[in-house]
Amino acid sequence: MTELKQIYKCNVCGNIVEVLHTGAGELVCCGQPMELQTSKTEYEGTEKHKPVIEKVDDNTIKVKVGDTPHPMEPKHYIEWIELGNNKLFLKPNQTPEAEFKTTDQNPIARAYCNVHGLWRG
């Protein structure tokens, strides 16, 4: 059974999907089951991948990817940053950070590296 906000990746074509509505079926792409991407918080490379949350003001949160800025090169970059239900998609050469408006007092941020997968901070 899937869960809301889970991320799955096709290991054949690279399609990535996020679960918006749960169901009992298996997610399949290119004739093969898709791989569930589990959120990493500790791993080699944490200093460049784990989202870091900073409070800007009462309603604004800044999310930076890594204590050391993550590379943003065409072959290795952060594809998106998410806080709650808000997601910002990035491209190579952009700064791996985003600001979000939220009233959540305990927000959880996620970021997706095209090489090293899903990270949570």
Which pLDDT value is given to residue 40? 85
Q: How would you classify the pairing of strands 16-18 and 7-9?
A: antiparallel
Annotated domain spans of the chain: 7-37, 46-120
Which pLDDT value is given to residue 67? 86
Cα separation, 42 vs 62, in Å, equals 21
CATH number for the domain whose boundaries are 46-120: 2.60.40.730
42 Cβ contact list (under 8 Å, min separation 6): none
Cα separation, 54 vs 10, in Å, equals 33
Which pLDDT value is given to residue 41? 77
Cα separation, 117 vs 40, in Å, equals 8
Which pLDDT value is given to residue 59? 92
Q: Which one, of 79, 81, 93, lies nearest residue 14 by Cα?
A: 79
Q: How would you classify the pairing of strands 78-83 and 60-65?
A: unpaired
Walk along the chain (121 residues) and give the pLDDT tens digit of each residue.
899 999 999 999 999 999 999 999 999 999 999 999 998 877 666 678 899 999 999 899 999 998 888 999 999 999 999 999 899 999 999 999 999 999 888 899 999 999 999 999 8
**Longest Cα–Cα distance in the chain:** 47
Which pLDDT value is given to residue 13? 97
CATH number for the domain whose boundaries are 7-37: 2.20.28.100
Task: Return the structure tokens found at 18.
Answer: 């996020």
